[in-house]
Structure 1
């Protein structure tokens, strides 16, 4: 009877050890996702602050959208 109790206790401890390991891995992954999200949030906050600067908005319009001012002729080159 005592051996059976010992085996049952050992089984439960082993099961808990596996559960603890899985939870530890989940925590590490969650912390990595949180850090990545915080870094992305910081970058977006910086960009948001720059969007009130007219020269930054003009730079984005020119570079990303290919927009020009009146009378300007866009120069388009192809990368090889």
Structure 2
């Protein structure tokens, strides 16, 4: 005697194909997330490199200026408040 309801035959090929597709889709998504993070890291590193190169150029320019007596005197007077013998120091008041 047959059962009242019709038996369902599972199409195992379709089930296996869906599982395989889901597996590869998850791999694809995880790889895309990784590549996105790597691109962000690359952009941040490139930005830090540009800032370091700019600072390096400024430091090289200052190093060149440190060889000039006029610049050394300017730094001594403005930054260190030094004066020549017989000069009176002048300090501009802040408003």
Settle same-fold status: TM greater than 0.5.
yes
Q: Verify: 1:79 aligned to 2:94, yes or no.
A: yes
Please list every run of at least 4 consecutive aligned residues from structure 1 whose deviation after the TM superposition is greater than 2 angstroms: none
Relative contact order, higher structure (CA 8 A, sep 6+): 1
Structure 2 gap segments, 5+ residues each? 1-15
CA distance in 2, matches of 1:77, 1:49: 29
Matched residue, 2:41: 26
Matched residue, 2:63: 48
Larger gyration radius, structure 1 or structure 2: 2
Residue number among 78, 81, 85 corresponding to 1:63 in the alignment: 78
Residue number among 27, 30, 52 corresponding to 1:15 in the alignment: 30
Q: State the aligned residue count.
A: 80
TM-score w.r.t. length of structure 2 = 0.82
TM-score w.r.t. length of structure 1 = 0.97
More helix by share: 1
Structure 1 gap segments, 5+ residues each? none
